[in-house]
Amino acid sequence: MNWIDKLEKKLGRYAIRNLMYYIIILYAVGYVVQLFAPEFYASYLSLDVIAILHGQIWRLFTFMIFPPSSGLFWFLISLYLYYSIGRTLEYQWGTFRFNLYFFTGVLLHIVGAFVSQFIFGVNLGQYFGTYWLNNSLFLAFAATYPDMQFMLFFILPIKAKVLGIIYGIYFGVEIVAGFLAEHLTINMLIGLSRIGIVVHPAYSLMALLSLGNFILFFFGMKSMHRYSPKEIHRRRTYVRSVKQGERSANTHKCAICGRTEKDGENLEFRVCSKCNGYYEYCQEHLFTHTHVR
């Protein structure tokens, strides 16, 4: 039994079922806030480390309402996508493990914001909302269901593992570039900025820590293969076959009259060796039935 199994045994009853349902509600609230009072989130709800240190503790939780997209169409698509991903992972891993993965991401996101502030003096947490949380969910899905297909731009079919590799390369460049910022040329910095990469060690450190739940679960734990779709299907099939075997072994039923050993203590059943297949008969019908050919 690994540490997650032990933790689940102690805390499993506190896990939140259908967690993504509540996260989607938070995103919907955040979308309304962004729509009608966009400055309110930055002023009172974002993960602003300086404000938290001055007593605004609620920001450790309220930053999670930041919606994954600002446009209504893409916002609705994002809600559907992340809800489907979260529900699938919860079904595949179990409620407790999915809760642990998600809230580990939340915790590391907060840690990343504080570390960036204390080491580099840069208050980055207020600018990222739930960006890294959503990315870690997608990476987890791609690693668990590598052959699942998405319709890119609703036209091009592409497998989850391909998108996961593209995301992984992008985040890898994003993280490494920040730590090597002093050694990059002006043209390289401009090129990276054009594809949305902010070259700064504080940014890289926060990105690395925020994706730490994916790194921890999929690269630091040898037991994660237990939760792959193939392995779980194999175990479920085995358990189902064992239960069916136990039922057939414990319950005898006459193929003619339908009586079982529960209908009488003195009833005896035998399998007919002349019938084509596995057919049981009570003593009354064992020698009088028509053989199945």
The span from the CA of 195 to the CA of 140, in Å, is 24
Per the DSSP assignment, residues forming a β-bridge with 157 are 151
Locate the DSSP E strands across 86-178: 149-152, 156-159
Residues 8 and 98 in one domain: yes
| Rounded (5°) CA angle 199-67-198 | 5
Report residue 106 as tokens. 């939340």
- Classify residue 230: in a domain, yes or no: no
**More confident site: 291 or 169:** 169
The span from the CA of 203 to the CA of 124, in Å, is 7
- Helix, strand, coil % over all residues of the chain, rounded to 5: 70, 5, 25
Mean pLDDT for the stretch of residues 122-144 = 87
The span from the CA of 282 to the CA of 262, in Å, is 12
The whole-number pLDDT of residue 248 equals 54
With cut-offs at 50, 70 and 90, classify the pLDDT of residue 7: confident
Are residues 178 and 203 in contact, defined by beta-carbon separation less than 8 angstroms? yes
Spell out the residues 6+ positions from residue 149 whose beta carbon is closer than 8 angstroms to its own. Answer: 157, 158, 159, 160
The whole-number pLDDT of residue 233 equals 54
- Classify residue 156: in a domain, yes or no: yes
- Classify residue 115: in a domain, yes or no: yes
Residues 156 and 271 in one domain: no
Residues 261 and 179 in one domain: no
Report residue 171 as tokens. 């985040």
Q: Which domain holds residue 270?
A: 251-293
Q: Is the pLDDT of residue 1 over 60?
A: no
Mean pLDDT for the stretch of residues 173-181 = 88
- Classify residue 244: in a domain, yes or no: no
The whole-number pLDDT of residue 85 equals 92
Q: Is the pLDDT of residue 209 over 60?
A: yes
Residues 259 and 213 in one domain: no
Nearest to 30 by CA among 107, 101, 100, 134: 134
- Classify residue 242: in a domain, yes or no: no
With cut-offs at 50, 70 and 90, classify the pLDDT of residue 47: very high
Are residues 62 and 45 in contact, defined by beta-carbon separation less than 8 angstroms? yes
The whole-number pLDDT of residue 66 equals 93
Are residues 176 and 205 in contact, defined by beta-carbon separation less than 8 angstroms? no
With cut-offs at 50, 70 and 90, classify the pLDDT of residue 148: confident
The whole-number pLDDT of residue 261 equals 79
The whole-number pLDDT of residue 207 equals 87
Domain boundary among 199, 219, 239: 219
Q: Is the pLDDT of residue 264 over 70?
A: yes
Q: Is the pLDDT of residue 246 over 70?
A: no
Residues 173 and 269 in one domain: no
The whole-number pLDDT of residue 63 equals 94
Are residues 82 and 102 in contact, defined by beta-carbon separation less than 8 angstroms? no
The span from the CA of 291 to the CA of 45, in Å, is 77
Mean pLDDT for the stretch of residues 9-29 = 92
Domain boundary among 195, 219, 243: 219
Are residues 206 and 112 in contact, defined by beta-carbon separation less than 8 angstroms? yes
Residues 30 and 119 in one domain: yes
- Classify residue 232: in a domain, yes or no: no
CATH number at residue 188: 1.20.1540
> Could you tell me the pTM of the whole model?
0.72
Residues 180 and 86 in one domain: yes
Residues 173 and 47 in one domain: yes
Residues 214 and 115 in one domain: yes
Mean pLDDT for the stretch of residues 37-57 = 93
Q: pLDDT, tens digit, for every residue of 89-108? A: 998 888 999 999 999 999 99
Q: What total of structural domains would you count in the chain?
A: 2
Q: Is the pLDDT of residue 22 over 90?
A: yes
Instruction: Count the residues in the chain.
Output: 293
Residues 271 and 194 in one domain: no
Q: Is the pLDDT of residue 150 over 60?
A: yes
The whole-number pLDDT of residue 21 equals 94
Mean pLDDT for the stretch of residues 247-259 = 75
